[in-house]
Structure 1
C-alpha cells in the first residue's frame, strides 16, 4: 500500500471538495479539541 502507486483517488477527491475541505478540516480540529474535554468530565 504505497502512496506513489495511487496518487489519484484521494488527491482528486480532496481537490473536488474545493472550499468544503477547509470547513471539514476546521470541524475536525474543533471536534478533536472537544473530545478530550468531554472525556475528562
Structure 2
C-alpha cells in the first residue's frame, strides 16, 4: 500500500512501523490544542 498523501501535511502523525495501517495518518491537526479545547468545554 502506498503512503497516504495526507502524511505530508503539517501535523500529520504516522502510525507505528509495522502497524497494518502504517500508510494512513494516525492523527491530523494539533492533538494538544484539541484536547485542551475539549477539557475547557
Q: TM-score, normalised by structure 2?
A: 0.31
Q: Which has the larger radius of gyration?
A: 1
By relative contact order (CA 8 Å, sep 6+), the higher-ranking structure is 2
Higher strand share: 2
Q: TM-score, normalised by structure 1?
A: 0.31
Higher helix share: 1
